[in-house]
């Protein structure tokens, strides 16, 4: 069976409601506010069929939010079973699309592109390590291991080899720390 669209799911839920509950739903829909203002007027819902209401809701709240809005309204008007059924149907109807990877930030690119230069030229390692520890990018054990290295280049290489390569967030934090501790070096590299 083909996955159902959010509009179809809401339409099906509204179709199964009694006339009284559908009227309660319409009243609650008219009371919904977005950014402090009502977004649905009485003339938009009066006399409408269930499929027209679903269409209206998609137009107002978008396909990505319409099911959640409908579930919220159903719970508010005491139709908890219908809300639960709609939420279950939505969860089973369509598998979540794969989330595309977020684009690489400028900070990440800087840390990756200037690895060699940073390993050779960063001198304020102690302050950088202190900040990495404070931001929980490195553990106390990693901090001690990196500090035990004899030269600044080896310390920077160790920073790159362990904590910084683990996550994008770690690279962004590292960049921010570099910007704070080695401002002139960062500006010089960014100027190239």
Model confidence at 170: pLDDT above 80: yes
pLDDT digits (tens, 9 = 90+) for 59-108: 888 888 889 989 989 988 988 888 888 888 888 875 555 455 556 678 88
Name the residue ranges covered by the structural domains of the chain.
Answer: 6-93, 106-191
Per-residue pLDDT, 153:
94
Q: Was domain 106-191 assigned CATH 3.30.70.260?
A: no
The first and second tokens of residue 144, run together, are: 């001690």
Burial class (CB in 10 A: 0-12, 13-18, 19+), 26: buried
pTM: 0.48
pLDDT digits (tens, 9 = 90+) for 26-54: 999 998 887 778 888 888 888 889 899 99
Query: For domain 6-93, which CATH number applies: 3.40.50.460, 1.10.533.10, 3.40.190.10, 1.10.10.10?
Result: 1.10.533.10
Q: Which residue bears the tokens 């291991």?
A: 145
């Amino acid at each position: 069976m083909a996955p159902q669209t959010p509009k179809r799911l809401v339409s099906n839920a509204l179709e199964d409601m009694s006339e009284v509950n559908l009227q309660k739903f319409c009243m609650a829909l008219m009371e919904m506010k977005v950014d402090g203002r009502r977004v649905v007027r009485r003339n938009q819902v009066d006399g409408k069929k269930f499929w027209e209401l679903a269409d209206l809701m998609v137009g107002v709240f978008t396909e990505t939010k319409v099911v959640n809005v409908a579930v919220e309204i159903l719970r508010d008007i005491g139709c908890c079973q219908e809300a639960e059924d709609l939420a279950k149907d939505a969860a089973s109807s369509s598998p979540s699309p794969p989330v595309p990877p977020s684009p690489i930030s400028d900070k990440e690119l800087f840390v990756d592109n200037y690895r060699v230069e940073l390993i050779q030229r960063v001198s304020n390692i102690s302050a950088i390590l202190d900040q990495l520890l404070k931001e929980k990018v490195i553990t106390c054990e990693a901090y001690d291991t990196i500090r035990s290295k004899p030269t600044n280049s080896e310390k920077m290489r160790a920073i790159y080899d362990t904590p910084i390569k683990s996550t994008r967030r770690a690279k962004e934090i590292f960049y921010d720390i570099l910007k704070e501790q080695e401002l002139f070096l960062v500006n010089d590299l960014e100027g190239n």
